[in-house]
Structure 1
Amino acid sequence: MSESNHHDVDVAIVGAGLSGLFAAHQLLRAGMNPLVIEANDRVGGRILTEHVDGVPVELGAQWIGDTHHRMFALATELGVDTFRQFDDGEATYEIAGSGVLRETAFHERFAAELTGVDRALRLLDDMSAQVPLDAPWDAPRAHEWDAITAAQWLTDQRLAPVAERVLEICTVGILAVPMAEVSLLDMLYNLRTCGVGAELFAESEGGAQTTRFVGGSSQIPDRLAARLDGHIVLDSPVTLIEQNADAVTVHCRGGRAVHARHVIVAIAPTLAGRIMYDPPLPGVRDQLTQRMPQASAMKVFFTYDEPFWRADGLAGQLISDVGPGRMSNDTSPDDASYGQLLVFLEGEHARTYGRWPTADRKAAITDLLVRHFGSRAADFISYVDGEWAQRPWTRGCYNANMGPMVWTHFGAALTPPIGRIHWAATETATHWSAYMEGALDAAQRAVDEVLS
């Protein structure tokens, strides 16, 4: 890690999340001299693996999917092993007053109502296919779709209550905000960038959560950072970016100044909007970043001496509209040497229960797990949770979302460089936006812009 307060480099990179680190890695490989400038005291951004009594706990990004080819290649290059997500057994449901039902019983009881979910997903597939990845505002019905929220669209489908609840829970599970805060066009764009159709919004989240990293996701940014020794500075929040026709100067709190030919701002758009720029950025770019708030998500982990639910034929997956958590996953290690359940609090639930005292939240979520997996769920070894809005250099997870009229009025300003300033971070990706794969996609685009 570099210690000098003044640097002359080829490319300054703001943010040592996955996008910023990968951009630096690619630039260094191309023979350029990058410097990554990070506000936090660690690398990784929204990837964070903490160890509790020797057990890795994935408070941040955790999964990759079968079509996340860049992530698989990067893991192989860095020597990080992967394993398949456990997915055997039945899920459990607690929807629209149904009580807790196993997957088979739930689908048998509500077979007629759940046909509405299939119909809605096919319609989403058809609409999302019409959204251009590089210009969603040019979709044939862009203005119509951008004028209403995803919640309004769902209401207009007139689904049975149980079908509407299932679709809403799984959608919020992807976007991490209430559907009323997202435009229909933004939801369709999210579907389109993932390339797997509406399977992403189905109960199993389709191809997005098939694979995990042995030892935890933080090995990816940590090993990237090890390759960038001497090219990263921490504890250096960027306050001002100046540019002229020939160069940029990045100013940090504490007096650090970095002179470069280009700068890649590899942080979420809303955080990028809090940096001062001289000359000021065009108004359309500033108006955009004012309208891309970070989502609300919290992950809660219970660790057990074994994954006891598997012996009962359960997959460790629940879907509930009672809460506090509305979805869960079995996040035990590949060798099942201990058991671990992850409960998601997303959107309104993250905002509400994330502000409860820890003891109250733990008790309420324990009750949820006992309802679904039996009394042994109360006999856990450890409890860990992590909320992201309180973290000053993140201010939310998993991603940013656009409300009505943002894509059509301001979206064209999301990715184009402004002079010598380039934009990265997963929110700017056109492939798997909001995922780790999207972070690499965005970084590679920014690197290509610089190299060209």
Structure 2
Amino acid sequence: MQRDVDVIVVGAGLSGLTAARAVLRAGFEPLVLEASDRVGGRILTEEPLPGVFLELGAQWIGDTHHRMAALAEELGIGLYPQFEEGETSYEFAGEVLRGAAFHRKYDDDLAAVDRVLRELDRMAASVSVAEPWAAPDAEEWDRISVGQWYDAQGLSPLGRELLDICTVGILAVPTVEVSLLGLLVNVVTCGVTADLLSESEGGAQTRRFVGGTALIPQRLAELLGDRVELDSPVLSIEHSADSVTVTCRGGLVARGRQVVVALAPTLAGRIMYDPPLPAKRDQLTQRMPQASAHKMFAVYDEPFWRADGLNAQLISSVGPARMSNDSCMPEETGGPGIILGFLEGESARIEGRWPAAQRQEAFRDELARHFGPRAGRPELIVEGGWADKEWTRGCYNANPGPCGWIHFGDALATPVGPIKWAATETALVWSGYMEGAVDAGERAAREVLADLS
């Protein structure tokens, strides 16, 4: 089968659907090719019980995620606040302490961590998100890992570990695998560390979607109708100055004038291009692996921890979950109690590969240590790891390792003739988040439309 359109979009995640909608609104004909049997990409909502929506993928937006808030309003999807009231539970140095007690005991350690965060803000101020490799100290910062830099900051063992847990909670890779410049790029795309690296990620996790996050890509796809082709993995992209031919497994061939590849860089690199991509772009895709993340939801008959003055947030050096939060439905609708545990970076790679029974038993024990015996007896545990998913192979985003930005960074979003790049990794604001995915899709659409005109 052959389809002739103006713009072909590879990937029906949030970036690809955003780009396709912008192209359609401008009066041109798009076609979205999606390898999976669903839309959404790194957005995935499951409904294990009627009316209970669990976000295996992207879940929150923050107060400065204006694109996503506007999109939700336009699509008729309500927002509700993330529950934050109550104390956080901490597990370090062989003991579990609640928020106030933990802060009293480790006040000096926490002050030192805050000093490090303020220093990151100071350094990030010299980094241009559009050209991070041009920062005055880019060479120095991109040649050392975040872990190496943290080690040199004079933190106590507890402060050092706390900072590592919170950083991995954002990057989902060990801090030895990301350069200091890479972390600063994340900081500058999101504002300041208070928005990015706070213990509860308050700046990035303040609101959720009524009915589940997956409603966003589903309703975008409905607007596009039969312009979205599922179960169509792209094998190759042939391109010339003013035309593209995209061939899918299964026989579908799409011809157009422009193509937006709205995939994470490493997945984009698995497509065959004719002629081949420039060496720098191909080398970049070899250096941006997908991060490692695994979510575990414990479901109870009610959110009992709230009556105990707890917010269901834990930060733990033991695990298997290093962080957690309250993941309940809107308060006014009632519903079960839900605690979400995060296994990220090495936790996802190690504990995430344990047999499910072993991992779930360890998770129940951990919840009981933090929130009492009742927490150790959930009615249901639902979990999922993103590295297992064929068309994603990891989550939340991708970051180049040391020297990646200074040697290859300028190829990340630079068009190659009629090929334009999207996905949240290419965003100039909130890279790694849904807000960044929308930003990237809108930017790629502008590039396409400029060429089409």
The amino acid of 2:388's aligned partner reads: Q
Residue 71 of structure 1 pairs with residue 98 of structure 2? no
Q: Report how far residue 448 of structure 1 moved.
A: 0.5
Local SS of the residue matching 1:303: strand
The answer (yes or no) to whether the contact 1:146–1:183 under 8 Å persists in 2 is: yes
TM-score, normalised with respect to structure 2: 0.98
Task: Say which of 309, 320, 328 aligns to 2:324.
Answer: 328
The CA deviation string for residues 72-110 of structure 1, in whole angstroms up to 9 with x for no partner, is 00000000000000000000001233x110000000001
What stretches of structure 2 of length at least 5 have no aligned partner?
none
1:128 alignment partner in structure 2: 124
Report what 1:176 is aligned to.
172
Query: Is 1:110 aligned to 2:106, yes or no?
Result: yes
The 2-side partners of 1:118 and 1:90 are apart by 19
Counterpart amino acid of residue 253 in structure 1: R
1:351-390 deviation digits (Å, cap 9, x = unpaired):
1111111111100000000000000012212110010101
Indicate the residue corresponding to 1:384 in structure 2. Answer: 382
Moved more, 439-448 or 335-344: 335-344
The equivalent of 2:397 in structure 1 is: 399
Cα offsets for 1:264-311 (capped at 9, x unmatched): 000000000000000000100000000000000001001111000001
8 Å CA contact 2:312–2:326 kept in 1: the answer is yes
**Pairwise CA distance, 1:198:** 4.2
Measure, in 1, the Cα distance between the counterparts of 2:179 and 2:314: 27
Deviations 1:162-187 (A, max 9, x none): 11111110000000000000000000
AA aligned to 1:392 is E
CA contact (8 A) 2:44 2:55 kept: yes
Counterpart pick for 1:267 among 241, 263, 267: 263
Amino acid corresponding to residue 32 of structure 2 in structure 1: V
SS at match of 1:32: coil
- Alignment check: 8 A CA contact 1:167 1:202 kept: no
Equivalent in the alignment of 2:351:
353
Q: How does 1:104-253 map to 2 (within 5 A)?
A: 104-253=100-249
User: What letter matches 1:435 in structure 2?
Assistant: Y
User: Quick check: 1:22 aligned with 2:12?
Assistant: no
Q: Distance in 1 between matches of 2:67 and 2:168?
A: 26
Contact 1:176 1:297 in 2 (8 A): yes
* CA spacing shift, 1:65–1:445, aligned 2, 3 Å: same
Give the deviation of 1:29 after TM superposition: 1.1
Report deviation, 1:199.
3.7
- Quick one: distance in 2 between partners of 1:329 and 1:228? 35
Q: Which runs of 5+ in 1 are unaligned?
A: none
Matching residue of 2:419: 421
Alignment pair present for 1:411 and 2:409: yes
Residue 365 (structure 1) aligns with: 363
Is contact 1:96-1:165 (8 Å) kept? no
Letter in 1 for 2:439: D
Which position in structure 2 is the counterpart of 1:343?
341
- The answer to whether the Cα contact below 8 Å between 2:296 and 2:342 also exists between their aligned partners in 1 is yes
Matched residue of 2:353: which SS? coil
Distance (whole Å) between structure 2 residues aligned to residue 41 and residue 242 of structure 1? 24
Which residue number in structure 2 is paired with residue 36 of structure 1? 32
Aligned mates of 2:208, 2:194 — CA distance in 1: 22
> What amino acid does structure 1 have at the position aligned with 2:56?
L
Contact 1:425 1:443 in 2 (8 A): yes
Q: Tell me the distance in 1 between the aligned counterparts of 2:61 and 2:112.
A: 29
- Determine if the alignment matches structure 1 residue 312 to structure 2 residue 325: no
User: Is residue 195–residue 204 contact of structure 2 (8 Å, CA) maintained in 1?
Assistant: no
Distance 1:303 1:192 in 2: 36
Structure 1 counterpart of 2:53: 56
1:81 is the counterpart of 2:97 = no
Confirm whether residue 280 of structure 1 aligns to residue 276 of structure 2: yes
For 1:197 and 1:357, locate their aligned partners in 2 and report how far apart those are by CA, in whole Å: 36
Q: Name the amino acid aligned to 2:404.
A: V
Q: Please, which of 424, 429, 432 is the counterpart of residue 431 of structure 1?
A: 429
Tell me the CA shift for residue 244 of structure 1.
Answer: 1.1
Q: In the superposition, relative to structure 1, how do residues 61 and 67 fare at CA in structure 2: closer, same or farther (>3 Å)?
A: same
Q: How far apart are 1:38 and its partner, in Å? A: 0.4
RMSD: 0.8
Deviation at 1:206, TM superposition (A): 3.0
- Contact 1:122–1:198, Cα closer than 8 Å, also in 2: no
Report how many residues are paired: 447
* Mapped partners of 1:345, 1:48: distance in 2: 17
* 2:203 partner SS: helix
Moved more, 329-338 or 262-271: 329-338
Cα deviation digits, residues 3-49 of structure 1 (max 9, x gap): xx211001000000010011111111111100000000110000000
Distance in 2 between the 1:96 and 1:423 partners? 46
Counterparts of 2:377 and 2:280 in 1: how far apart (Å)? Answer: 54
Is this contact kept in 2: 1:17–1:46, CA < 8 A?
yes
The letter for the 1-side match of 2:81 is R
Q: Deviations over 1:318-369 (max 9, x none)?
A: 0000111100010011124210000000000001111111111100000000
Asked if the contact 1:49–1:60 (Cα under 8 Å) also holds between the matched residues in 2, the reply is yes
Of stretches 433-442 and 379-388 in structure 1, the one that deviates more from structure 2 is 379-388
SS at match of 1:223: helix
Secondary structure at the counterpart of residue 388 of structure 2? coil
Whether the 8 Å CA contact 1:125–1:198 is kept in 2: the answer is no
Q: d(CA) in 2 for partners of 1:177 and 1:96?
A: 23
Q: Which amino acid aligns with 2:61?
A: I
